A and B are shown apart, each in its own frame.
Chain A
Amino acid sequence: MVRVSGPLVEIEGGGSLSMLELLAVGPRRISAETVAVAGTRATLQAYEYTGGLKAGDVAAPTGGELSGLMGPGLLGGVFDGLMRPLSTAPMWLAPGRAGSAEEQTVVAREWTFRPEAATGNTVYAGGILGTVPDSGSVVHRVLVPPGFSGRIDWLAPEGRVHALDPVAVVGGRAVALSEQCPVRRPRPFLSRHTGSVPLHTGQRVLDLLFPVARGAAAAVPGGFGTGKTMMLQQIAKWSDADVIVYVGCGERGNEMADVLHGLSELDDGRTGGKLIDRTVIIANTSNMPMMAREASIFTGITVAEYYRDMGYDVVVIADSTSRWAEALREFANRNGDLPAEEGYPANLASQLASFYERAGRVTTLGGKTASVTVIGAVSPPGGDMTEPVTTDTQRFVRSLWTLDRDLAYSRHYPAVSWTGSFARDGETIGAWHAGNGDPGWILRRSRALALLAESDRLAELTEIIGLTSLPGRERITLMGGRLLREGVLMQNALSVNDGFCSAEKGAALLDLVFDVVDACQGLVERGVAATTIEQSDFGPVLRAREETPPSDAAAVRARSSEVLQRLVALQ
């Protein structure tokens, strides 16, 4: 070793190193990855605190790439960016902790293996060998790993096994219960699907206006204080996926504690267990070593692909991709790379693409339809939406949920801006809804967007000429915009009734607002003064979201007829 500067380590005499190869550096054997090789010199990025490393220390190649041990026990667990378990780590994270494969608490744990194949069968990668029933809220399937195929020479009988024990011999090679997966390489699949199936998030502004399809990528850019993390946590809690991978990448420790705490308390309505049992948390908080933060994004998506291959719909939530990009930038700067925009390396866009493009709804090697949906937060410095990470991300995602500071400041949460967001799959998702019993979905969406745009335009006009100068019809539109914003789009994450919203209740709330607006327009046409209408009590409309149960569309419709009757009486 010849040079140490923070996470950058240079070594000499490492002639046979390959790129991305993992090394154990110095007396504490901290992990480092090869990022450049020149002659006998190599540059490494270290994944841990490099304090105490000296010129002359030895770096030993491990022969492998950065990888994580995937197997039963991931669900409900908390891991760091290098996939080392945190649940069993000490309170203070000093460097030099062992990886999962050497960690006694992981290796010594026993699982039930139940064979689902027969000796003598010929199997291919992705084929099922057995299941582990006692791991989390979904059935854990042990598959033939990528690259393996052939006759099952031996299959373990039903019984207790450890993570590293072999459970089968396929084509002459042993298959262990858990699998070491390189995290920087996408796991293979058979083919991508076209066509959109929506992911229901339980958040009205997303499900009604800016939906995301299963297997698509979405980004959430927003300055600080706009409620990014809160919204992502809501999606983690309420979206109808089988498995959630929550990657806390360079964010707050208290938030990770909050996610863990919140998910441990909430019941999973579908399985009867707790929500934490369908969740894998990768936590690399902002004060943990920076380069492990860079790895955590890839670790997270590899875990997701691992579950996808078992046939599940998985959502990866990455908070925040900006912190990941900053880790790339810091290392590139230390390495002396020429900067592109704002000091970021020139390959920023391709790195972002390599992450977001791992999303997809696919046919797995085993022939199942499954998906990985990626939702990434973006934290633009200074709220500047033209900075490189935000602009590059917009190119690679299907849905963009821009959080607006003005909305957040007026406590309109979730602060998803209707002017700055998009959903490229809106129409195909509309077609899916039409084919699945809700032909009105697409019309409701376009009417809502039009009403918002029109009322925004009128609000600007009002600031110049005053409300009283507007014609009655326009004043009702303005009021309709307010009802839509406060009665439908705003959602109280803390409320038992309002935290989650079913598709039917969302549709009913939108219809309620439209019916009220139509009734009011009717009144204006029949000569009732706009002021009279504005001063009547719309509380029941605005409170409907809070005062009716999360999936009770009928209760909302009951309110509708009550409010409409009262309006008719104004005539």
Chain B
Amino acid sequence: MPIELKMPALSPTMEEGTLARWLKQEGDEIAPGDVLAEIETDKATMEFEAIDEGVLSKIVIAEGSENVKVGTVIALLDGEDAESPAAMAIPDGARDRPKGPAAVAGERQDAGSVDPDDAVTPAASAASRRDPAIPADTPMKNTTVREALRDAMAEEMRRDERVFIMGEEVAQYQGAYKVTQGLLDEFGPKRVIDTPITEYGFAGVGTGAAMGGLRPIVEFMTFNFAMQAIDHIVNSAAKTNYMSGGQMRCPVVFRGPNGAASRVAAQHSQNFAPWYASVPGLIVIAPYDAADAKGLLKAAIRCEDPVVFLENELVYGRNFEVPDLDDHVLPIGKARVVREGADVTIISYSIGVGFALEAAEMLAQEGIDSEVIDLRTLRPLDKGAVLDSLKKTNRLVIAEEGWPTCSIASEVVTICMEEGFDHLDAPVLRVCNEDVPLPYAANLEKLALIDADRIADAVRRVCYRKA
């Protein structure tokens, strides 16, 4: 039975081409690798090689033929091979490329049949997960955020031999910001690893170690330097579970300070939260106080998914009450009402929560009762907490120490528009940094960053109040 030689698709997008020239004639002996013909596509002239051995028995499509559809039989080859391509004849309609997941999504959205909730399935169940109740007689310990983070890592390293930390100056120097202070002494150099200044490399090594079964904590001295490593965070860590059909786990934590510090100018002052929060496959956490920092970092280290854990240098030294429990672990994906109020909701995260609380105190003097919500986890984002509060107060402001464009603030506004519109008594406002690289000069830096005054102003506007 002759082998049918068909017009090949020579690129992912080719649908038809020109059969420019036959280089073999009827009756010619063909060996694998022989060039049979030249085919022109819209991009290039390509050589069409024989795969099978045999005799070119018939040329079906003459040279010079244009617009030959992919899959058209162009020649016949008589071969000794019993198994021929004809045996895998294309089923009816097979020229339709198999429907990829993207095509499916597109169709479903066009049809308007998708509940937006379904699109972020993991987040949907978050509403049912609350912070564990802290027993009434639990002593509280005054702790800095810096110590809370260190304690979280130390506790998890005691609990699980697979947990280790790597990064620049994490061991002998005791941490560039002293977050890893004391860890080398307790756990030794095998588990507290000083790396060279080589972010792309060690982010990849950390990610690979997670794939290989360990539980790495990769510290970036600041997240500004993680831009050199973002490929591993996004392409290697976040996507592999999906691309492997669920085979490849990557339980790594990337952590370090994020956002503006103090007077370090544009390259060292940036909030990357919205960048990472846009990536499916990542968990993104950005706590504010010490109790959340500790409870969420412990949860992040235990998490089976890759986590980006964003800290803030300016908050490291602040003191907070942390429950003195043996194992203080908080749920990922759950916001927290840090101040209850009835008139307006202020949504924030990380250092912004401090400004929001300050603004709430100012506003209380004016008779405005603000509810302040700390998102804590940015992906998956606790939509339920945002919407529940909006339902109660009907007014909402988002405060974010970061640029406004394509921000977490933009995302919260979208949630309010799509799912909370009927509860809104005023437009949602966002208070973000100015849309400029952060300047060095003290006065300009102050102008560029959010503060409590600006948040209070926005709250007054959504409450239709004058200052």
A binds B: no
Residues of B within 8 A of A (CB): none
